[in-house]
Amino acid sequence: MTAKQVNINTQAHTQLTGSLIAATDTGDKDGNDNGQLISPPTA
């Protein structure tokens, strides 16, 4: 694995973590803020 590949994987992980945090903060489980505007998920 090259340093460049490690960097790409790190960026992807950071983006995924950011999405999970955003989903938690907004209460939107799919991480897409627009989901709240369409319809809430059913249990």
Instruction: Tell me what the mean pLDDT of segment 12-18 comes to.
Output: 62
Tokens representing 7 are: 């960097």
Backbone angles phi, psi at 33, to 5 degrees: -60, -30
State the pTM of this model. 0.22
Q: Which pLDDT band, with edges at 50, 70 and 90, does 36 fall under?
A: low
State yes or no: pLDDT of 23 exceeds 60: no
At residue 33, the pLDDT reads 56
Q: Which pLDDT band, with edges at 50, 70 and 90, does 39 fall under?
A: low
At residue 37, the pLDDT reads 54
Residues in the chain: 43
**Nearest 10 degrees: Cα torsion 37, 32, 30, 17:** -150
